[in-house]
Amino acid sequence: MKNKILLALVLASSCSLFAQKKFAQLDQELPTPNEYRNAAGAPGHRYYQQKADYKINLTLDDKEQKIYGFETITYTNNSPDQLDYLWLQLDQNLFAPNSDTKLIEVEKMEDFKSVGDIRKKMFQFDGGFKIEEIKTVNGQKMRYFINKTMMRIDLDKPLAPKTSISFQIKWWFNINDRMAVGGRSGYEYFEKDDNYLYTIAQFFPRMCVYNDVEGWQNKQFLGKGEFTLPFGDYEVNITVPSDHVVAATGECQNYNAVLTAEQRKRLEQAKKADSPVIIVTQDEAMNAEKNKATTVKTWQYKAINVRDFAFASSRKFIWDAQNQVVAGKNILCMSYYPKEGNPLWERYSTKLVAHTVKTYSKYTIDYPYPVAISVHSKWIGMEYPMICFNGGRPEADGTYSEQEKYGMWGVIIHEVGHNFFPMIINSDERQWTWMDEGLNTFVQYLTEQEWERNYPSRRGPAHLIVDYMRGDKKNMSPIMTNSESIFQFGNNAYGKPATALNILRETIMGRELFDYAFKVYCKRWKFKHPTPADFFRTMEDASAVDLDWFWRGWFYGTEHVDISIDDVKWYQLNTQNPEIEKAAKKSAQEQKDVHIGVGRNKTSITETVNERDKDIDDFYAKRDIYFVDALDKKDYKDFLAKIDSKDLELLNANKQFYEVSFNNIGGLVMPLILEFTFEDGSKEVQRIPAEIWRMYEDKVSRVFIFDKVVKSMRLDPFLETADVDLDNNSWPQQSQPTRYQLFKQQQTTRENPMQRQMRVNELNKN
């Protein structure tokens, strides 16, 4: 309904008064800035971090599936603190028979319906490190205590600030069958050719981080919260069967000893190529599969300034590589995969590695390492410095579905992307999974969109998170929750933070501001250990955008976005001109609904009394209330004399006023993005910052002024705010069809197009 108003200001109004909570600054929640981490979100002037260098000799026993290792660790204490003991991570102990991981699984009797279930429950894998000795480099035994997945080495003499200690550990362990036992590393067994493909990580006792935030980060490894480790230099000698091909963190120092002349030649070609060059061919790999060498070779690796080391080894590997230039530096991008991965792996893997390294460098920091590797094994996705293990396997006949292809692409981009988060920007994933998984998933999305237009990213755009975010909050966790306690791990620590960053980039800050601030964060904290506060502070510090409301809502809370258009009131200015106003009133009266009797009476009653007897109608019956008389004209003339020309122009401009009321049903405040469609078909978008909610968190209203009449309006037309209910986003109200209704309208099903094409080709042959 249209209303007339006099020339007056309309103020934004509210229906409720609330103490301001959502826009409260985050000062209470964030740690106090100090000399190690300052208020700008940068490392402070006394920031420090420890260093751990490793020299490791290990042997892979392909017959028994065991690893035997011996390491020398040199640990440098750069902190201002004296250390009485050192803590190391023993992640293989996750598989030990007495592991806490098994004990903390919630179980019910209905989980044991079959003999198979019981057998699996009672199956004991003799996992875990078998520590044989720990001693100083002088041969003196050291005292140590193992607390499940953590080991404390007690020092006879405390380690003073700015000093180092070297010590040696000897160990072995049984490698887990990933298909049977699970795990982030282990082996995949190929029954058909009786061969193993090893993807080995967390295979040595590793130093824990000691820093200003946690002291020792020695929270137990329960399975979900992953790792943080100090940086250091590695020299690793890996002894494997002589027909194995090895891929590892760092650069191999002795290709002369482990590759044939022909393979070395291909490798040199690959270093200059901008598309993949095969170094070990499928035929060579298939030959190796059959022969099973009984001799061994040792591959020697060096890696500088990395936080971890991992490797893969198999006689089944096909190996290809290409060069990718980043900021003038050559990065050798490589893939290792069994023939079962083809044709997908040969066609795409190394190109994806190269693309990922290049694109992530654009948005974060220049990739600093000499190599980036993708290794294929079944049902896996895991990351280590310069090397990652990825799943995605075609069918035995070599065909694959579109979904399989995109899945493989996504996992390679994601895992290679982890080189940046957390391998280089070394956040504490034991504590905060989101700091690497969420940030990485966000940049993964950007990288996917640059690989292919309209890439079907599973995470990133705001509307993809709404199903997770709606509903009862008692089974949801804030993003800022320790890794082990998260409900809905994937959505919470990967999807929601990635979505939040995408919203910041596309809607709150804009791409230019966001990209700059994000790069500042990455540059500040590369090769260091950032915390959430460092990230939050840096993003504000580098952009001048107050984001506390955003961190508070998206990262510290569990509310969702559901903002509705509650009410729309339409106003026009009263021109005071009787010719216009009375004509408008007459027109409005003529358009009003009338009772059905009125129309029927017009035909059924041929003549009323007052139509027959002219004496019945008096002044009131005869007058025309819409007639513009002399007094109307005089009043208008007097009005014109008082008003100035600018106000008159405004009055006659035919401005349309819309007072729109919004209700924050979901709780999570967001900007108001409105698309207005006018009667002439044109559209206009207006964006109101989220600060409109700063004083009134439940309901606000806003007046919009146009030169044209609005036909309809839509809130969040570009799906930017993760609004869970679009039914209340329109005026006039419009219900969105359900997915089932859309399906009924479209009625499509698909088969694997590649297999269908094969049948088409067959038909064409005939």
Partner 1 sequence: MKTLFLLLITCALSSNSLRAHAFYFAYAEVSVDEVGQRIEATLIATAHDLELVFEKENITSLRLEKALKNQNLKEQIESFLNQSFYFEKGINRTYFKIDGYEIKREGTIEFYISSEWKEPIQETLFTFNLLMKNFPEQQNKALIIWRNFKKNMEFLPNNSQQLIRFE
Backbone phi and psi for residue 535, each to the nearest 5 degrees, phi listed first: -70, -50
Residues composing the chain: 766
State which of positions 645-674 bind partner 1 (CB under 8 A).
Answer: none
Binding status of residue 733 toward partner 1 by CB under 8 A = no
Q: Which is nearer to partner 1, 721 or 728 (CB)?
A: 728
Per-residue DSSP letter, 677: E
Tell me how far, at minimum, the Cβ of 125 lies from partner 1, in Å: 11
- Asked if 115 touches partner 1 (CB under 8 A), the answer is yes
Could you list the beta-strand ranges (E) of 562-635: 563-573
* Token pair belonging to 68: 């035997």
Interface with partner 1, residue 759, by CB under 8 A: no
Nearer to partner 1 by Cβ, of 226 and 697: the residue is: 226
What is the spatial distance between Cα 374 and Cα 247, in angstroms, rounded to a whole number? 9
124 interacts with partner 1 by CB under 8 A: no
Cβ nearer to partner 1, comparing 84 with 117: 117
Q: Give the CA radius of gyration of the chain.
A: 35
Q: How many CB atoms lie within 10 A of CB 97?
A: 11
Residues 92 and 181 sit within 8 Å (Cβ to Cβ) = no
Q: Which is nearer to partner 1, 180 or 705 (CB)?
A: 180
**Which of 109, 594, 625, 631 touches partner 1 (CB under 8 A)?**
109
Q: Which stretch binds partner 1 (CB under 8 A): 57-65, 122-130, 411-419, 607-615?
A: 411-419
- Residue 565: CB minimum distance to partner 1, A: 16
Quote the tokens at residue 454: 């309209």
The residue (of 70 and 389) whose beta carbon lies closer to partner 1 is 389
Distance CA(511)–CA(505), nearest Å, equals 5
Residue numbers 464-493 binding partner 1 by CB under 8 A: 467-468, 470-472, 475, 487-491, 493
Quick one: which segment of 150-158, 181-189, 522-530, 710-718 binds partner 1 (CB under 8 A)? 181-189
Complex with partner 1: residue 178 or 524, whichever CB lies closer: 178
Burial profile 133-153: b = 16 or more Cβ within 10 angstroms, e = fewer: ebeeeeeeebebebebbbbbb
Closest CB 209 distance from partner 1, rounded Å: 21
Q: Which residues contact 743 (CB under 8 A, 6 or more apart)?
A: none
Check binding of 453 to partner 1 (CB under 8 A).
no
Figure out which of the listed residues 140, 256, 738, 766 binds partner 1, where binding follows CB under 8 A. Answer: 738
Q: Out of 113, 157, 614, 646, name the contact with partner 1 by CB under 8 A.
A: 113
- Site stretch for partner 1 (CB under 8 A), options 69-77, 208-216, 401-409, 513-521: 401-409
Distance CA 185, CA 200 (A): 5
- From CA 390, how far away is CA 444, in angstroms rounded? 15
Give residues 330-369 in contact with partner 1 (rule: CB under 8 A): none
605 binds partner 1 (CB under 8 A): no
Toward partner 1, which CB reaches closer, 7 or 742? 742
Across the beta sheet with 206-207, what order do the strands follow? 143-147, 150-159, 83-89, 206-207
Peptide linkage before 732 cis (omega within 30 of 0): yes
With CA atoms as reference, report the closest residue to 346 among 357, 336, 354: 336
Q: Which of 100, 214, 404, 632 binds partner 1 (CB under 8 A)?
A: 404
DSSP 507: I
Question: Are 460 and 422 in contact, with CB atoms under 8 Å apart?
Answer: no
Binding of partner 1 by 382 (CB under 8 A): yes
Strand 381-384 relative to strand 371-376, pairing: unpaired
Rounded least distance, CB 486 to partner 1, Å: 9
Q: What is the DSSP annotation of 461-497?
A: SGGGGHHHHSS-GGG---SSS-GGG-SSHIIIIIIHH
Q: Pick the closer one to partner 1 by CB: 54 or 445.
A: 445
Shortest Cβ 459–partner 1 spacing (Å): 9
Residues that bind partner 1 (CB under 8 A): 105-106, 109-118, 120, 178-179, 181-184, 223, 379-383, 395, 401-404, 406-407, 410-411, 414-415, 456-458, 467-468, 470-472, 475, 487-491, 493-494, 725, 727, 738-741, 743-744, 747-752, 755
